[in-house]
Amino acid sequence: MKVYINGKFYSKEDAKVSVFDHGLLYGDGVFEGIRSYSRLVFKLKEHIDRLFESAHAIMLDIPLNKEQLIKATIQTLKENKLNDAYIRMIVTRGEGDLGLDPRKCKGNSTVIIITDKIALYSKELYRKGMEIITVATMRNSHEALNPQMKCLNYLNNIMAKIEAVQLGYEEALMLNDQGYVAECTGDNIFIVNKGELYTPPEIMGVLRGVTRDTVLEIAKKNKIPTHEHVFTRHELYISDECFLTGTAAEIIPVVMVDGRVIGSGKPGKITLSLMNKFKELTKKEGVRY
Distances (CA, A) of 95 to 4, 55, 285: 17, 17, 37
For 23, half-sphere exposure in the C-beta direction (CA atoms, 13 angstrom radius) is 22
Question: Is 104 an active-site residue?
Answer: no
Neighbours of 119 (CB within 10 A): 9
Catalytic residue among 2, 43, 150, 161: 150
Bridge pairing between strands 110-116 and 130-134:
unpaired
**Phi–psi pair at 140, nearest 5 degrees:** -55, 140
**Which among 82, 81, 77 is positioned nearest to 113, based on CA atoms?**
77
Bridge pairing between strands 130-134 and 250-257:
parallel
Say how far residue 141 (Cα) sits from the centre of its chain.
18
| DSSP SS3 for 162 | helix
| Residues that are catalytic | 150
